[in-house]
Amino acid sequence: MTARTATVTDTSLAHLPQVQEPRNPGTVLDLDRIASVQANTSAIERRAATLPGRRSVKKDYQAAWMLRAVTLIDLTTLSGDDTEGRVRRLCAKAANPVRQDLLDALGMDAITTGAVCVYHEMVPTAVSALQGTRIPVAAVSTGFPAGLSPFHLRLAEIEESVKAGAREIDIVISRRHVLTQNWQALYDEMKAFRAACGDAHVKAILATGELGTLRNVARASWVCMMAGADFIKTSTGKEGVNATLPVSLVMIRAIRAYHAATGFRVGYKPAGGISRAKDAVTYLTLIKDELGDRWLRPDLFRFGASSLLGDIERQLEHYVTGRYSASHRHPIG
């Protein structure tokens, strides 16, 4: 079968213009507002169950959405056996995430992933490897993934990662504050993390699989945004349950309500378990439906993923050639 000649730039979301969004400065903690936040679990689950089959994105449009998804990936390695060589390979893939022959066939210019996400120890390596690109380095911090190290060490870890060149910091909240409904403690913690980040953007990881209820997820989302989080993020990727559509619906509706109340846009990052191109498109359609096109840019939406990119590239090759290739033709590291 000959390669398809396909141009998706006219319908692609991959070249939406970048807009400098003012950072969320946070607000005072409004405990009455937090107490009023509820979550109708059965209704949320029914809505989420309809999402995978509700929107059918085909052909050129599907390729365009997959290309857009690539630009929204925080390409991640968070393994105990990470090496400098692995991180450099990951950074090379982040700078050239889709094979050039596929981009040429699709009529696309070069694209990159949204960021590279690593442990603090690997921040200098990633910063060095990404010199000359506009790809930011994100560092997981604050005793990731449990968040149970001494508080002063969690603050120091943020400061050290920023000093090493990380432009984004993914912090983990203390889940016990949510489980005990100690919203003041969560707010104060998040405010301190935000201050330690300085100019670096902060993503608050809620570890939603450990928060017990969707109402807790909604309230924790509000508290973190009130404390100045630039992003709220579902998971560390290390919990038993990570990103899910019901949790995502709760969090992005909290983002929508916060924007309506304050005028400030907060980003969203689902992480953990998103490994198929089909799932990525489902998340993008959910964002488009609930928040609109403005959130379909890297400054307001990211996927936390390691294997998602490989499947997207494989699907793009099928779109171009009509054939599925072996996974090893699309290495990510």
Give the active site residue among 230, 269, 279, 311: 269
104 annotated active-site = no
Give the active site residue among 74, 230, 233, 279: 233
User: Which pairing describes strands 73-76 and 115-118: parallel, antiparallel, or unpaired?
Assistant: parallel
Helix, coil or strand: residue 269: strand
Measure the CA angle with vertex 234, ends 233 and 236; round to 5°: 90
**Whole-number Å distance between alpha carbons of 287 and 298:** 13
269 annotated active-site = yes
Helix, coil or strand: residue 165: coil
Kindly give, in sequence order, each residue whose CB lies less than 8 Å from that of residue 164, ignoring residues fewer than 6 positions away. 120, 123, 124, 127, 139
**Whole-number Å distance between alpha carbons of 65 and 290:** 17
Contact 105, 320 (CB under 8 A): yes
Angle at which helices 59-71 and 308-321 pack, to 10 degrees?
150
CA 313 to chain centre: 19
**Whole-number Å distance between alpha carbons of 95 and 139:** 18
Distances (CA, A) of 138 to 103, 119, 121, 164, 202: 26, 8, 12, 11, 9
Give the active site residue among 170, 230, 279, 311: 170
Measuring CA to CA, which residue among 223, 222, 220, 225 is closest to residue 235?
Answer: 220
233 annotated active-site = yes
Q: Which residues are catalytic?
A: 170, 233, 269
